[in-house]
Structure 1
């Protein structure tokens, strides 16, 4: 008979951002526990509110299946004495297995006989297994933990009640001083304690007590209510999914409502107004059909519509001082100049082991200029880049960013325009933070992209220089994210930058710009390069590239991310070519022999007068034609041209002994192979490719 089981953990209100990951964690842990305990089930439905984490398991088996297993004991020579009598070791082993010496069998394992007994293990009833869920619950981990009372358990919030129902029967277990039963709690203000008669009654019972336990249903209810208000007022809403998720995890019985504020606050920049309402009050902003913000908001209360007018007035009243503060910050910030804000950065620490934020900007400016020259920016772009790099962190010392840190860069752009900077400079101030997440938007302007590269490169170089290198999961300064952003930007714009060479050049540029640097800017350069290669591998994994292709393109001396990415996509495009196996094998044979020859650069010389067979001249001509045509070809065309050499290469190996006894002939042949092998370097180590 299939059963249903309800587990509910009742808590003090959890932080909104913890609710969803916590119920997902509980579901995974319980599913793993049941699997480990050999309890079959069909499905697990997860439910959550700020005050509860619940699971409804359906199709649960009656019991564990019985198991017959062969249990290994001591070796025969230990189990019996010289006369064949059972030793204490044998007797103790069988007793421990609930058997007798009469049940012993001998089995040979790797030439040695051992004692075995066949054991029948009766499956536990499902209720007995479920009673062990207390350990599953208390093993959960959270970003923040607390203790309560005199208890030593660390948990997200104090546990106040537990429900554990197998169909309509309680499966008791204890966590601290709380015993699982059938009593749950309804809405904190509208509901009361209520008994759950049967596991499958859970959702309906709590809905009758003003709790929507299904997070998806609750979110849909919120959206429907908000949309109804929007339609009623002929507004438009840009759904903020992050805010919607947060609000959903703040309420158990949602009721949406609209409020208004004074028109004068619309004079504030939109990001300020939106952030002030979103972050402080969890309000949704609304617009008219022309996209203009309206002096109104929508919020969601945790309760019903009783006395809703009072709730609206209260929310409107609370919003006013928030908007007044924002207006004050905005007005006050404009009483100073950008240069004054920049000067304040001398007293803002980037990191106490590295420098002030002011000095970081000086280093970034040197890198930005170097990048701009290498990436062929126009004179105007270089001028804009220099100006942007001189001021781009200035808004960190404004009052607005001091209050709303998430507006850094955004306010920088707004203030830069108000202080007379041109569009390119202002945009770069905002864009230098981009991308702000692994898959975040990239800078749209050239100046912004170069400044973003320079700023992130400086952060990585600086932290590596003082030996603060990310290890394991430890990356407090988000260097992995910044390196990943650099890789994405270079690949997206097809900007070719040799990272190893650039760091050496950056060291010289930075030391000239900031003589009192205080650390070796190019320290751990190899580790920096490896760090970027790892980020490339991360990028390739998200592109679902084959592992052998990733291994091939990253096993290289090339440190140009854009080139490596392009090479990976070329190899991926050819992975199913019909003749690829023979073609790659021919090229890898060339590569191996060239490596074995290990000729110095000065020794690589091809002398046609030493050719002994026509195939040598044919390969030499083919390689020269390949090199001559390289400049006008795409990387894909270059790879195709390499593959097309297979017949010439194969004939060459058929007719010529590479390691000839004549040293001059041998080196001549190795020189030709070395020149050809060098043409494959752009594609990494082709020997890593798995071709069938």
Structure 2
């Protein structure tokens, strides 16, 4: 007989952003629990609303599968004494298996005899196994947790009821003082408590009490209702997936409606209107077919259509209050100059251990000037990035950003344009925040990209200078995201930036107070940035061993590492790739026997050469060095061309020669060659077959 198991966790309203992840966790962990307990099933259906997380396990087996176990015990010499009597070790082993010494037999393993017991373990009934599923409930993780009453137990919200049914039969569970049953709760205002008579009637029973338990069904209802309203009014509505997901997890019985606001508010920048509607009120905004905002919005009620007119009026009233504030702030902010706001930044802390926001802008001005030269910006672009660096945080002290923090940068661009700044400067003020998420959009202009990198570099070096360094998952100042943003921007614009050279320049030239020790963590910053290069390459088709090789090379320039990794990945399918890597790898490995490192004044004594291959290798290596810097592709081709010379070199020469001068000369030759090879990376990390 087919059985289905229903588990429902009833809670106080959860934050919308945790609902989907939590029910996914519940399903995944329940599946793992059942598999580990040898309970078969066909699939798990998920149901969720703001007040409940539920699963239905379909076609669940009536009992665990039986298993035969051969348990291994101590060796025979430990299990029996000299007279062949069972020792305490053997007796304890048998007892621990629920058997007796009469059940012991011997088998040889790697030349040693051990005691074994063969036993048959009958599967438990599924009800007995499911009684332990509370462990799954308790194991769910949440971004925030709370406890209630006098209990130490913490959860996303207090648990108020549990439903646990195997077909029509209850499977008793208990968490704290909450005992499971078959009673669930309908919609908070429209429904009532209702008894679930059968696990498979769960969805329809809840529907009768104004709860749509299937999140996908609820989402489709909302989406279709929005489309109907838009079509009826000839509107264009972008059904933002994230907003739809959030709204869906705020309601149990959705009814969509639309409201309006005065056209005069359309004079406010549309970003402010959209933020007020979408981010603050969770409304869907409306455009016409020409792309302009219309003075309407669409929202979703957690309930039916009764008295919807009152709901519309209430929502309009709330929105208008926010728009009135926005309109006032927008006009008030324009009564001051950018210089007024910049002056105010002298009293605003960037961080109490580091200094003010004004001081940060002064440092970023210096960093931007240096980067503009490194990146080859034109005179006009350099002028724009320096002007932007002087003002780019000014909007933080405007009324609008104080009220709508999510508009920082956006309002900076708007106000900068209104107050006469060049378009490039205004755009950079907005773009310096980019990317605002790990994989978010990048600056579209060189001026904005340069300012974005400069700002992020300043944050990185100053937080490290005062020992505010990310550890484990702790990264309160989002330095990982900022460092990853630097790497992504460098990659987008193919800008070279040697991390060691940069830090050396900043240490010598950047104006900072004595409390900021820029030399304290230079190697840590290198490693931190290189880890971000690994992160970026991890999102590509580059093999992990190649990534390991490149980030362990001699270069600390993200773009060189990225491009080199791509070049090596491109050549892995070459017929001679294995031979090339092995030949170069021999140079790398044997060069490690030298008791000295590479330096520019390291010289060979050609009079000590004993074989033609020594001269041949020296000549080709010197040609590569004299030719100067190569891009990654050209460097690989040049080094690959050394393979036959390297093969001859090792065939003809004993590196560790008895003559100390000859030995050191050959090691010197390998160290010089390895200095070139190391620009590709640590080739010993590459797996070749």
- Contact 1:134/1:173, CA 8 A, preserved across alignment: yes
**Residues 671/243 of structure 1: CA separation in 2 closer, same or farther (3 Å cut):** same
Q: Which deviates further from its counterpart, 347-356 or 410-419?
A: 347-356
Show the counterpart of 2:251: 251
- 2:551 corresponds in structure 1 to 554
> Measured at CA, do residues 287 and 580 of structure 1 come closer, stay the same or move farther in structure 2, by a change above 3 Å?
same
State the match for 1:623 in structure 2. 621
Aligned position for 1:682: 679
Matches of 1:181 and 1:393 in 2, distance apart? Answer: 58
* C-alpha contact 1:277 1:283 (8 A) present in aligned 2: yes
Q: Are the structure 2 counterparts of residues 108 and 638 from structure 1 closer, same or farther at C-alpha, using a change threshold of 3 Å? A: closer
The aligned length equals 688
Shift of 1:47: 1.1
CA separation of 1:96 and 1:346: change in aligned 2, threshold 3 A: same
Deviations 1:309-356 (A, max 9, x none): 222122112211111111111111112221221222222222222212
Given that 2:554 and 2:679 are in contact with CA atoms closer than 8 Å, whether structure 1 keeps it comes out as no
Equivalent positions of 1:43-58 (< 5 A) are: 43-58=43-58
Q: Which residue of 2 aligns with 1:387?
A: 387
Supply the RMSD in Å over aligned alpha carbons. Answer: 2.4
Q: Distance in 2 between matches of 1:602 and 1:19?
A: 61
Match of residue 372 from structure 1: 372
Contact kept in structure 1, 2:598 and 2:675, CA below 8 Å: no
- Is 1:568–2:568 an aligned residue pair? no
* 1:272-421 pair list within 5 angstroms: 272-421=272-421
Contact 2:466 2:515 in 1 (8 A): no
Match of 2:430 in 1: 430
DSSP 3-state at the match of 2:211: coil
Where do 5+ consecutive residues of structure 2 fail to align?
none
Normalised by the length of structure 2, the TM-score is 0.94
The two structures have a TM-score, normalised by structure 1, of: 0.94
Structure-2 separation of matches of 1:687 and 1:71: 43
Partner of residue 223, structure 2: 223
Q: Quick check: 2:329–2:400 contact (8 Å CA) kept in 1?
A: yes
Asked if 2 retains the 8 angstrom alpha-carbon contact of 1:10 and 1:53, the reply is: yes
Provide the C-alpha distance between the structure 2 equivalents of 1:394 and 1:331, rounded to a whole number of angstroms.
16
8 A Cα contact 1:556 1:684, kept in partner: yes
CA distance in 1, matches of 2:672, 2:72: 63
Q: Which of residues 522, 535, 540 is equivalent to 1:538?
A: 535
Deviation string for 1:588-626 (max 9, x for gaps)? 222334443446536643566665544444444433444
1:628 offset after TM fit, Å?
5.4
Task: Tell me, yes or no, if the aligned pair for 1:286 and 1:293 is still in contact at 8 Å.
Answer: yes
* SS in structure 1 of the partner of residue 69 of structure 2: strand
Matches within 5 A, 1:42-121: 42-72=42-72, 94-106=94-106, 116-121=116-121
- Deviation readout 1:519-544 (Å, 9 max, x if unpaired): 21221100110111111111111114
Secondary structure of the 2:510 match is helix
Which consecutive residues of structure 1, in runs of 5 or more, have no partner in the other structure? none
Give the superposition deviation at 1:378: 1.7
> How far did 1:67 drift?
2.2
State the secondary structure of the residue aligned to 1:585. Answer: helix
Query: Take 2:86 and 2:599, find their aligned partners in 1: how far apart are those partners?
Result: 77
Would you say 1:636 and 2:633 are equivalent positions?
Answer: yes
Report if aligned partners of 2:587, 2:670 keep a CA contact under 8 Å in 1: yes
CA distance in 2, matches of 1:429, 1:567: 33
Q: Residue 477 of structure 1 aligns with which residue? A: 477
Q: Structure 1 residue 679: deviation in Å? A: 2.7
Is 1:487–1:536's contact at 8 Å kept on the other side of the alignment?
yes
Q: Is structure 2 residue 574 aligned with structure 1 residue 577?
A: yes
Contact in 2 for aligned 1:370/1:506 (Cα 8 Å): no
